[in-house]
Structure 1
């Protein structure tokens, strides 16, 4: 036995039967462009497919929607009425879908990162993260030193060369390792004993590249290794990444952190004849609160740690 309520509902559905959605889409495009051919191009269909879709609606409604004259089509009064209704209907659906997607998709994580690390390490690897997590957006912001989290910035990647505010959670990413680097084809000119089996040494005619943003880089390296650096020519640059670029250009020898030069070393552009030593500092991912295991931030943290290996 079928209830009256269900029978009434079925009756109402039958009385408002609509043309197929795909056919209405073809009709809307043809009405908007006043051309079956142009509608077919926009929808990536054939002219015949659009024409058949429109004819299907006309046969269903028993009226002509277009006047066909000299290979052009013009809406009839009934066609204009239907076209306006279809446009409004599609517009409402598109707005609703857009709103729902905006509500259900996770917002992009805003990550602040020191400029040189951002350009030379993070950005070249970011495509890998996007392939692994296509639904999680990451918006990168260049910045260094102290940072206020939770006010437009979700996370920050920083070297621990400044005092962190209380309450900030810091997760280690990698230890800083530094060493002299130069263009690979200049090694023989600026280093002795490279191929002799003994320890390589930096020649006095090598130009040492300094930077204002890390003024103690060479001093730190000599203190850690016991190397003597006297009488060398020097050239100074405003930013750290410029000194590394100068090394790539063959201007001199720079102190290069491993993570910032590893790609050029792997590609044979730069060389590090004296290797790398830990300088006692490290990079951390800073968060305003402890990162939960199932949070989007946890996916980024896991990837960062893996990328730093």
Structure 2
């Protein structure tokens, strides 16, 4: 009898034992995105790590959670049931964490992540104005681009809307992206002709690796064929813009990154600027509350646009 009771007790413990939280996180992301590769990007892991975590979870539960067909994955009925429960569970935990963080934010700095070149050339030169308006309520600025998570110590983020993000992230538009070819003023006649109405085929073009389609996007927005010439490439917009300042060629310049140089006469944009269909946004875990520091920042940023 003692042996049987012990066996029943161990069975209850075994049945109630929760799987690995990491495995559940990998499973939830893969199920929501229906892709191990996209889940890996979201969680900053490798597809192999996602696959192994899901397989360990399936072995633990003794049932397949995905159908694997033609290098794609689809949730089984059991998988859908578990995915719904896990998503709701993570949602409850995430909401609790956000509420706790919200309650403690006044005791520490808010952390604002911004794309590096935008931070350097647009936000920092204007930041003293915001600080003067909110003395004693400081915001810590950090450089960062692309995907991120509010679980990584970031409270707010300024990003261009060119990457997938969780659907529960709140987004507020700051400004529409406008781009145009820019160069040194003394190079205009050589590279744009006396009329300054077209870009000569002999003009040396500069592009950035971080946005390799920028020239194509500009040409499409202008209704022109994309330049079909070899371009000198730089890692970030900051470098390609600096190359234009140095007179090395014509760069595609987003308006907010070059506006100070144009107003100071360092660069010129002979063909003007055109919206390319993208926009910059302020992302936050929840909608900023009226009267909050987050709302004051949002209104200030929108006024800068």
Return the TM-score normalized by structure 2.
0.63
Matched residue of 1:270: which SS? Answer: coil
User: C-alpha separation between the residues in 2 aligned to 1:106 and 1:266?
Assistant: 40
User: C-alpha separation between the residues in 2 aligned to 1:264 and 1:136?
Assistant: 31
The question of 1:226 aligning with 2:227 is answered: no
Candidates 210, 218, 241, aligned match of 1:244:
241
Q: Which ranges of structure 1 fall in alignment gaps of 5 or more residues?
A: 1-102
Contact 2:182 2:252 in 1 (8 A): yes
User: C-alpha separation between the residues in 2 aligned to 1:104 and 1:143?
Assistant: 21
Deviations 1:139-177 (A, max 9, x none): 111111111115411100000001120210000000000
Structure 2 counterparts to residues 116-155 of structure 1, below 5 A:
116-155=117-156
Candidates 273, 276, 279, aligned match of 1:282:
279
Matched residue of 1:219: which SS? Answer: helix
When the two chains are superposed, the root-mean-square deviation of aligned CA atoms in Å is 1.8
- The answer for the alignment partner of 1:157 in structure 2 is 158
Contact 1:176 1:282 in 2 (8 A): yes
How far off its partner does 1:107 sit? 2.4
- The answer for the alignment partner of 1:263 in structure 2 is 260
Relative distance call for 1:188 and 1:233 in structure 2 (3 A) is farther
The question of 1:206 aligning with 2:207 is answered: no
Q: Which ranges of structure 2 fall in alignment gaps of 5 or more residues?
A: 1-103
User: C-alpha separation between the residues in 1 aligned to 2:121 and 2:184?
Assistant: 16
- The answer for the alignment partner of 2:110 in structure 1 is 109
Aligned pairs, number? 202
Contact 1:174 1:283 in 2 (8 A): yes
How far off its partner does 1:189 sit? 1.5
Contact 1:209 1:255 in 2 (8 A): yes
Return the TM-score normalized by structure 1.
0.62
How far off its partner does 1:104 sit? 11
Relative distance call for 1:227 and 1:108 in structure 2 (3 A) is same
Quick check: which has more Rg, 1 or 2?
A: 1
